[in-house]
Amino acid sequence: MQLNNADRELIDKIEELSGENVFSCYQCGKCSAGCPFTEEMDLLPNQVIRKVQMGDVSVLQSETPWICASCLSCEVDCPKGNNVPAIMEAIREISLRENVDKVELKDLKTRGLPEIALVSNFRKKTS
C-alpha cells in the first residue's frame, strides 16, 4: 500500500500521541468481538485501526473514539497487546485540536453513552 505525505502525517500523529505502532494490528477482529459498546459505534474498533493504517482522515469523523469507554477489554483480548484505547484517545486528541464536534451534550441523556464521552465533551467545551 502506497502512503502519501498527508496519510503519513495522520499515522505519525496517532503513533506519537498513543505510543503505539498501528501496523502491529493484523485485523483479527478480537478487539471488536469483545468490545461492550459496538452497538453504539459507527465503526468497529478494528475498523478504526484499519482506517488509521491507511492514513484515512475520515476516521476523525467517526463517533467510535467518543463512544470508547477505555475499558481495556480490547487490549486484554488483543493477541498483539495493542493498546486500542490509547489509539482512540489519540484520535480524540487530534479531533479536539482540530475542533471536530462529535458528541453533543444534549444527546448524552438520551443515548446513554459512557462517561468518557461526557468527559471528552466537557474537555472540548472548556479547551
List residues near ligand SF4 by CB under 6 A: 25-31, 35, 37, 45-46, 49, 68-74, 77-80, 82, 84-85, 88
What are the start-end ranges of the H helices in 19-114? 30-34, 45-53, 64-67, 73-77, 84-97, 105-111
- Closest to ligand SF4 by CB, 99 or 114: 114
Q: How far is the CB of 56 from ligand SF4 (least distance, A)?
A: 16
No. of helices (H) and no. of strands (E), the chain? 8, 0
Q: How far is the CB of 109 from ligand SF4 (least distance, A)?
A: 20
Cα separation, 10 vs 29, whole angstroms: 22
- Closest to ligand SF4 by CB, 36 or 101: 36
Q: How far is the CB of 3 from ligand SF4 (least distance, A)?
A: 18
Cβ neighbour number for residue 75 with a 10 Å cutoff: 16
